[in-house]
Protein backbone atom coordinates (compact mmCIF):
# COMPACT_ATOMS: atom_id res chain seq x y z
CA UNK A 1 0.00 0.00 0.00
CA UNK A 2 1.37 3.40 -0.96
CA UNK A 3 2.52 5.70 1.82
CA UNK A 4 1.27 9.25 1.24
CA UNK A 5 4.24 11.63 0.99
CA UNK A 6 4.22 14.81 2.98
CA UNK A 7 5.51 18.12 1.68
CA UNK A 8 9.11 18.84 2.60
CA UNK A 9 9.94 22.41 3.58
CA UNK A 10 13.74 22.20 3.55
CA UNK A 11 15.81 25.21 4.53
CA UNK A 12 16.72 26.65 1.12
CA UNK A 13 20.06 28.11 2.17
CA UNK A 14 21.10 25.56 4.78
CA UNK A 15 24.49 24.01 4.04
CA UNK A 16 24.55 20.25 3.71
CA UNK A 17 26.04 18.43 6.69
CA UNK A 18 27.27 14.84 7.00
CA UNK A 19 27.95 12.40 4.18
CA UNK A 20 31.74 12.37 4.38
CA UNK A 21 34.02 12.69 1.37
CA UNK A 22 31.24 12.15 -1.15
CA UNK A 23 29.34 15.15 0.17
CA UNK A 24 32.43 17.31 0.22
CA UNK A 25 33.11 16.40 -3.40
CA UNK A 26 29.48 17.11 -4.34
CA UNK A 27 29.85 20.59 -2.84
CA UNK A 28 33.05 21.20 -4.79
CA UNK A 29 31.36 20.10 -8.02
CA UNK A 30 28.37 22.36 -7.35
CA UNK A 31 30.66 25.37 -7.02
CA UNK A 32 32.29 24.47 -10.32
CA UNK A 33 28.84 24.19 -11.90
CA UNK A 34 27.07 27.18 -10.36
CA UNK A 35 29.77 29.51 -9.05
CA UNK A 36 31.93 29.91 -5.92
CA UNK A 37 29.01 31.09 -3.78
CA UNK A 38 26.81 28.05 -4.44
CA UNK A 39 25.86 25.97 -1.39
CA UNK A 40 24.60 22.40 -1.55
CA UNK A 41 21.22 22.37 0.17
CA UNK A 42 20.03 19.59 2.42
CA UNK A 43 17.25 18.54 0.08
CA UNK A 44 19.62 18.43 -2.91
CA UNK A 45 22.06 16.29 -0.94
CA UNK A 46 19.28 13.88 0.05
CA UNK A 47 18.51 13.29 -3.62
CA UNK A 48 22.16 12.91 -4.66
CA UNK A 49 22.93 10.56 -1.77
CA UNK A 50 19.87 8.43 -2.57
CA UNK A 51 20.99 8.08 -6.20
CA UNK A 52 24.75 7.67 -5.83
CA UNK A 53 25.12 5.81 -2.53
CA UNK A 54 21.79 3.99 -2.15
CA UNK A 55 21.00 3.52 -5.84
CA UNK A 56 17.39 4.48 -5.20
CA UNK A 57 14.48 5.46 -7.41
CA UNK A 58 13.68 9.08 -6.60
CA UNK A 59 10.84 11.42 -7.53
CA UNK A 60 11.69 15.11 -7.11
CA UNK A 61 8.70 17.47 -7.04
CA UNK A 62 10.35 20.86 -6.83
CA UNK A 63 9.75 24.31 -8.31
CA UNK A 64 11.42 25.59 -11.46
CA UNK A 65 14.77 27.05 -10.49
CA UNK A 66 15.20 24.80 -7.44
CA UNK A 67 18.19 23.01 -8.97
CA UNK A 68 16.83 19.71 -10.24
CA UNK A 69 19.31 19.63 -13.13
CA UNK A 70 22.16 20.18 -10.65
CA UNK A 71 21.10 16.99 -8.86
CA UNK A 72 21.36 14.79 -11.92
CA UNK A 73 24.51 16.38 -13.31
CA UNK A 74 26.30 16.15 -9.95
CA UNK A 75 25.10 12.55 -9.57
CA UNK A 76 26.41 11.82 -13.07
CA UNK A 77 29.81 13.32 -12.29
CA UNK A 78 30.05 11.32 -9.08
CA UNK A 79 28.89 8.04 -10.61
CA UNK A 80 31.03 8.39 -13.74
CA UNK A 81 34.26 9.79 -12.37
CA UNK A 82 34.57 9.61 -8.60
CA UNK A 83 36.06 6.53 -6.93
CA UNK A 84 36.91 5.66 -3.34
CA UNK A 85 34.40 7.99 -1.68
CA UNK A 86 32.99 5.72 0.98
CA UNK A 87 31.26 2.94 -0.94
CA UNK A 88 32.62 -0.10 -2.73
CA UNK A 89 30.18 0.58 -5.56
CA UNK A 90 31.69 4.00 -6.16
CA UNK A 91 35.00 2.44 -7.11
CA UNK A 92 33.49 1.14 -10.34
CA UNK A 93 32.75 3.56 -13.15
CA UNK A 94 29.09 3.33 -14.10
CA UNK A 95 27.49 3.58 -17.52
CA UNK A 96 26.26 6.87 -18.98
CA UNK A 97 23.27 8.85 -17.76
CA UNK A 98 20.23 8.77 -20.04
CA UNK A 99 17.94 11.82 -19.79
CA UNK A 100 14.46 11.49 -21.31
CA UNK A 101 12.86 14.90 -21.79
CA UNK A 102 10.37 16.54 -24.16
CA UNK A 103 12.17 19.86 -23.62
CA UNK A 104 15.48 19.23 -25.36
CA UNK A 105 16.13 22.97 -25.64
CA UNK A 106 16.25 23.22 -21.86
CA UNK A 107 18.34 20.09 -21.47
CA UNK A 108 20.82 21.30 -24.13
CA UNK A 109 20.94 24.60 -22.27
CA UNK A 110 21.67 22.81 -18.98
CA UNK A 111 24.11 20.34 -20.54
CA UNK A 112 26.16 23.26 -21.86
CA UNK A 113 26.53 24.43 -18.26
CA UNK A 114 27.36 20.88 -17.13
CA UNK A 115 30.30 20.87 -19.54
CA UNK A 116 32.05 22.87 -16.82
CA UNK A 117 32.14 19.59 -14.91
CA UNK A 118 33.69 17.84 -17.89
CA UNK A 119 30.37 16.13 -18.70
CA UNK A 120 30.08 15.22 -22.39
CA UNK A 121 26.58 14.97 -23.88
CA UNK A 122 25.05 13.56 -27.06
CA UNK A 123 21.49 13.66 -28.41
CA UNK A 124 19.03 11.21 -29.97
CA UNK A 125 15.85 12.82 -31.31
CA UNK A 126 13.76 13.19 -34.45
CA UNK A 127 15.91 16.04 -35.75
CA UNK A 128 19.20 14.12 -35.95
CA UNK A 129 18.31 10.63 -37.22
CA UNK A 130 21.30 10.59 -39.57
CA UNK A 131 23.61 11.12 -36.57
CA UNK A 132 22.27 8.27 -34.41
CA UNK A 133 24.95 5.75 -35.37
CA UNK A 134 27.69 8.30 -34.73
CA UNK A 135 26.23 9.18 -31.33
CA UNK A 136 25.93 5.51 -30.38
CA UNK A 137 29.49 4.81 -31.49
CA UNK A 138 30.68 7.57 -29.16
CA UNK A 139 28.48 6.15 -26.41
CA UNK A 140 29.89 2.62 -26.82
CA UNK A 141 33.43 4.01 -26.85
CA UNK A 142 32.86 5.68 -23.49
CA UNK A 143 33.16 9.16 -24.99
CA UNK A 144 29.78 10.39 -23.69
CA UNK A 145 28.62 10.81 -20.10
CA UNK A 146 25.05 11.87 -20.91
CA UNK A 147 22.63 10.88 -23.65
CA UNK A 148 19.63 13.16 -24.23
CA UNK A 149 16.60 11.35 -25.66
CA UNK A 150 13.26 12.77 -26.78
CA UNK A 151 10.32 10.67 -25.47
CA UNK A 152 8.92 10.18 -28.98
CA UNK A 153 11.95 7.96 -29.68
CA UNK A 154 10.57 5.38 -27.24
CA UNK A 155 7.72 4.69 -29.67
CA UNK A 156 9.93 4.65 -32.76
CA UNK A 157 10.30 1.02 -34.03
CA UNK A 158 13.93 1.47 -35.14
CA UNK A 159 14.96 2.99 -31.84
CA UNK A 160 12.90 0.51 -29.82
CA UNK A 161 14.32 -2.57 -31.59
CA UNK A 162 17.88 -1.54 -32.45
CA UNK A 163 18.92 0.81 -29.66
CA UNK A 164 16.69 0.51 -26.60
CA UNK A 165 17.75 -2.98 -25.36
CA UNK A 166 21.44 -2.05 -25.36
CA UNK A 167 20.69 1.31 -23.80
CA UNK A 168 18.73 -0.30 -20.95
CA UNK A 169 21.57 -2.76 -20.37
CA UNK A 170 24.33 -0.14 -20.12
CA UNK A 171 22.66 2.88 -18.50
CA UNK A 172 24.21 4.02 -15.22
CA UNK A 173 21.51 6.53 -14.25
CA UNK A 174 18.12 7.15 -15.84
CA UNK A 175 16.59 10.62 -15.56
CA UNK A 176 12.96 11.26 -16.52
CA UNK A 177 12.42 14.99 -16.92
CA UNK A 178 8.90 16.49 -16.87
CA UNK A 179 7.80 13.27 -15.18
CA UNK A 180 4.18 14.38 -14.78
CA UNK A 181 3.85 13.51 -18.49
CA UNK A 182 3.91 9.84 -17.44
CA UNK A 183 0.58 10.12 -15.66
CA UNK A 184 -2.76 10.17 -17.44
CA UNK A 185 -4.02 11.91 -14.28
CA UNK A 186 -1.77 14.86 -15.06
CA UNK A 187 -2.48 17.96 -17.15
CA UNK A 188 0.10 17.09 -19.82
CA UNK A 189 -0.09 13.31 -20.29
CA UNK A 190 2.00 12.06 -23.22
CA UNK A 191 1.45 8.48 -24.44
CA UNK A 192 5.13 8.17 -25.47
CA UNK A 193 6.06 8.35 -21.80
CA UNK A 194 4.22 5.11 -21.06
CA UNK A 195 7.03 3.31 -22.90
CA UNK A 196 9.30 4.28 -20.02
CA UNK A 197 7.96 1.32 -18.07
CA UNK A 198 9.66 -0.98 -20.62
CA UNK A 199 12.93 0.95 -20.38
CA UNK A 200 12.83 1.00 -16.58
CA UNK A 201 11.98 -2.70 -16.34
CA UNK A 202 14.99 -3.51 -18.56
CA UNK A 203 17.51 -1.71 -16.36
CA UNK A 204 20.11 -3.72 -14.49
CA UNK A 205 19.53 -4.16 -10.73
CA UNK A 206 20.63 -1.22 -8.61
CA UNK A 207 20.58 1.29 -11.47
CA UNK A 208 19.22 4.51 -9.92
CA UNK A 209 16.32 6.38 -11.50
CA UNK A 210 15.47 10.05 -10.99
CA UNK A 211 12.16 11.57 -12.07
CA UNK A 212 11.72 15.34 -11.86
CA UNK A 213 8.76 17.67 -12.18
CA UNK A 214 7.63 21.09 -11.01
CA UNK A 215 3.95 20.23 -11.26
CA UNK A 216 2.29 17.18 -9.73
CA UNK A 217 -0.69 16.69 -7.44
CA UNK A 218 -0.94 13.74 -5.07
CA UNK A 219 -2.67 11.49 -7.60
CA UNK A 220 0.07 12.16 -10.16
CA UNK A 221 2.80 11.56 -7.54
CA UNK A 222 1.35 8.15 -6.74
CA UNK A 223 0.93 7.24 -10.41
CA UNK A 224 4.47 8.28 -11.36
CA UNK A 225 5.88 6.44 -8.33
CA UNK A 226 4.16 3.26 -9.48
CA UNK A 227 5.75 3.60 -12.93
CA UNK A 228 9.19 4.08 -11.37
CA UNK A 229 8.76 0.95 -9.26
CA UNK A 230 8.85 -1.33 -12.32
CA UNK A 231 11.43 -4.00 -11.55
CA UNK A 232 12.61 -2.32 -8.34
CA UNK A 233 12.30 -3.31 -4.72
CA UNK A 234 11.83 -0.98 -1.78
CA UNK A 235 15.08 0.51 -0.57
CA UNK A 236 16.21 2.06 2.65
CA UNK A 237 15.24 5.54 3.70
CA UNK A 238 17.35 8.61 3.05
CA UNK A 239 16.69 10.94 5.93
CA UNK A 240 13.82 12.32 8.03
CA UNK A 241 12.31 14.32 5.18
CA UNK A 242 12.32 11.39 2.75
CA UNK A 243 9.17 9.38 2.21
CA UNK A 244 9.15 5.98 0.50
CA UNK A 245 6.18 5.30 -1.79
CA UNK A 246 6.16 1.67 -2.95
CA UNK A 247 9.96 1.72 -3.15
CA UNK A 248 10.21 5.19 -4.69
CA UNK A 249 11.69 7.97 -2.59
CA UNK A 250 9.54 11.11 -2.94
CA UNK A 251 11.16 14.45 -2.11
CA UNK A 252 8.60 17.20 -2.36
CA UNK A 253 9.07 20.91 -1.71
CA UNK A 254 7.12 24.12 -1.95
CA UNK A 255 6.37 25.18 -5.53
CA UNK A 256 6.09 28.86 -4.59
CA UNK A 257 8.55 31.23 -6.28
CA UNK A 258 8.71 34.59 -4.54
CA UNK A 259 10.70 36.17 -7.37
CA UNK A 260 7.88 35.74 -9.92
CA UNK A 261 5.21 38.36 -10.54
CA UNK A 262 2.05 37.95 -12.59
CA UNK A 263 0.21 40.78 -14.32
CA UNK A 264 -2.69 40.62 -16.76
CA UNK A 265 -3.41 43.11 -19.53
CA UNK A 266 -6.85 42.39 -21.01
CA UNK A 267 -7.03 43.32 -24.69
CA UNK A 268 -9.94 42.41 -26.99
CA UNK A 269 -8.23 41.07 -30.13
CA UNK A 270 -4.92 39.72 -31.40
CA UNK A 271 -4.08 42.91 -33.30
CA UNK A 272 -4.41 44.89 -30.07
CA UNK A 273 -2.10 42.46 -28.28
CA UNK A 274 0.44 42.60 -31.09
CA UNK A 275 0.37 46.41 -31.07
CA UNK A 276 0.73 46.57 -27.29
CA UNK A 277 3.76 44.29 -27.45
CA UNK A 278 5.38 46.24 -30.30
CA UNK A 279 4.97 49.50 -28.35
CA UNK A 280 6.65 48.10 -25.24
CA UNK A 281 9.18 45.50 -26.35
CA UNK A 282 11.83 48.11 -26.99
CA UNK A 283 11.44 49.48 -23.46
CA UNK A 284 12.41 46.16 -21.89
CA UNK A 285 16.11 45.62 -21.08
CA UNK A 286 18.06 42.74 -22.55
CA UNK A 287 16.42 39.88 -24.43
CA UNK A 288 13.63 37.51 -23.50
CA UNK A 289 10.88 35.11 -24.53
CA UNK A 290 7.34 35.81 -25.77
CA UNK A 291 5.15 32.72 -25.45
CA UNK A 292 2.19 31.97 -27.69
CA UNK A 293 -0.40 29.21 -27.49
CA UNK A 294 -0.05 27.93 -31.06
CA UNK A 295 2.54 27.52 -33.82
CA UNK A 296 0.49 29.74 -36.12
CA UNK A 297 0.40 32.53 -33.55
CA UNK A 298 4.17 32.27 -33.03
CA UNK A 299 4.82 32.60 -36.75
CA UNK A 300 2.34 35.46 -37.17
CA UNK A 301 3.71 37.42 -34.23
CA UNK A 302 7.31 36.87 -35.37
CA UNK A 303 6.51 38.25 -38.81
CA UNK A 304 4.71 41.25 -37.29
CA UNK A 305 7.54 42.13 -34.89
CA UNK A 306 10.12 41.80 -37.64
CA UNK A 307 8.02 44.19 -39.69
CA UNK A 308 8.22 46.60 -36.77
CA UNK A 309 12.01 46.41 -36.86
CA UNK A 310 12.64 43.99 -34.00
CA UNK A 311 15.27 41.21 -34.37
CA UNK A 312 13.20 38.21 -33.23
CA UNK A 313 13.18 34.49 -34.00
CA UNK A 314 10.38 31.93 -34.10
CA UNK A 315 10.54 28.68 -32.11
CA UNK A 316 7.99 25.85 -31.99
CA UNK A 317 7.64 22.09 -32.41
CA UNK A 318 7.72 22.35 -36.20
CA UNK A 319 10.94 24.36 -36.35
CA UNK A 320 13.86 22.46 -37.89
CA UNK A 321 16.37 21.15 -35.36
CA UNK A 322 19.25 23.27 -36.72
CA UNK A 323 17.08 26.39 -36.61
CA UNK A 324 16.08 25.63 -33.02
CA UNK A 325 19.68 25.30 -31.89
CA UNK A 326 20.63 28.51 -33.70
CA UNK A 327 17.70 30.35 -32.06
CA UNK A 328 18.70 29.10 -28.60
CA UNK A 329 22.28 30.28 -29.18
CA UNK A 330 21.08 33.66 -30.46
CA UNK A 331 18.98 34.15 -27.34
CA UNK A 332 21.85 33.24 -25.03
CA UNK A 333 24.18 35.62 -26.89
CA UNK A 334 21.59 38.46 -26.99
CA UNK A 335 21.63 38.49 -30.77
CA UNK A 336 17.81 38.61 -30.79
CA UNK A 337 15.48 40.81 -28.80
CA UNK A 338 13.16 37.87 -28.18
CA UNK A 339 12.28 34.32 -29.09
CA UNK A 340 8.61 34.05 -30.00
CA UNK A 341 7.94 30.51 -28.84
CA UNK A 342 5.37 27.90 -27.95
CA UNK A 343 5.82 25.63 -24.93
CA UNK A 344 8.24 23.57 -27.08
CA UNK A 345 10.95 25.84 -25.68
CA UNK A 346 10.00 25.03 -22.11
CA UNK A 347 9.62 27.36 -19.14
CA UNK A 348 12.96 26.99 -17.36
CA UNK A 349 15.50 28.38 -19.81
CA UNK A 350 18.73 29.14 -17.94
CA UNK A 351 19.74 32.71 -18.79
CA UNK A 352 20.63 34.99 -15.88
CA UNK A 353 19.65 38.20 -17.70
CA UNK A 354 16.49 36.84 -19.33
Residue 5 has pLDDT above 80, yes or no: no
Rg from Cα positions in the chain: 21
Residue 138 has pLDDT above 60, yes or no: yes
C-alpha distances (whole Å) from 264 to each of 261, 267, 273, 290, 298 are 10, 9, 12, 14, 20
Confidence (pTM): 0.75
The mean per-residue pLDDT over the stretch 169-198 comes to 78
Q: Give the pLDDT confidence score for residue 229 in this predicted structure.
A: 81
Contact 341, 148 (CB under 8 A): no
Residue 329 has pLDDT above 60, yes or no: yes
Which of the pair, 279 or 18, is modelled with greater confidence? 279
The answer to whether domain 20-252 and domain 270-345 are alike in fold is: yes
Average pLDDT in the chain: 81
Q: Could you give the CA distance from residue 11 to residue 318 in angstroms, rounded to a whole number?
A: 42
Confidence band, pLDDT 50/70/90 cuts, at residue 255: confident
Sketch the domain layout of the chain as residue ranges.
20-252, 270-345
**Least confident range of 167-171, 237-241, 244-248, 327-331:** 237-241
The mean per-residue pLDDT over the stretch 196-223 comes to 86
Using a pLDDT cut of 70, give the percent of the chain over it.
Answer: 83
Q: Which CATH architecture has domain 270-345?
A: 3-Layer(aba) Sandwich (3.40)
Strand order in the sheet with 97-100: 121-124, 146-149, 97-100, 173-176, 209-213, 57-61, 248-252, 243-245
**Least confident range of 16-30, 128-142, 211-225, 258-272:** 16-30
Q: Give the pLDDT confidence score for residue 325 in this predicted structure.
A: 85
The mean per-residue pLDDT over the stretch 193-198 comes to 78
Is CATH 2.60.120.10 the classification given to domain 20-252?
no
Amino acid sequence: MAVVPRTVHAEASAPAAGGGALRVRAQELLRTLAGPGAVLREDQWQAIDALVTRRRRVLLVQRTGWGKSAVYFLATALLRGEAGLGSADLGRRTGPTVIVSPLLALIRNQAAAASRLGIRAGEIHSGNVTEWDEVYAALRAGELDVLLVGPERLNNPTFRDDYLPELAATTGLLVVDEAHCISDWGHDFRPDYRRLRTLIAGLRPQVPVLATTATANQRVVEDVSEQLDAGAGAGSGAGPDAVAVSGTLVLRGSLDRESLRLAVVALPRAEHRFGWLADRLGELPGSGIVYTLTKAAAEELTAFLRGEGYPVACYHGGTEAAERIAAEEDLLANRVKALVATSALGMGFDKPDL
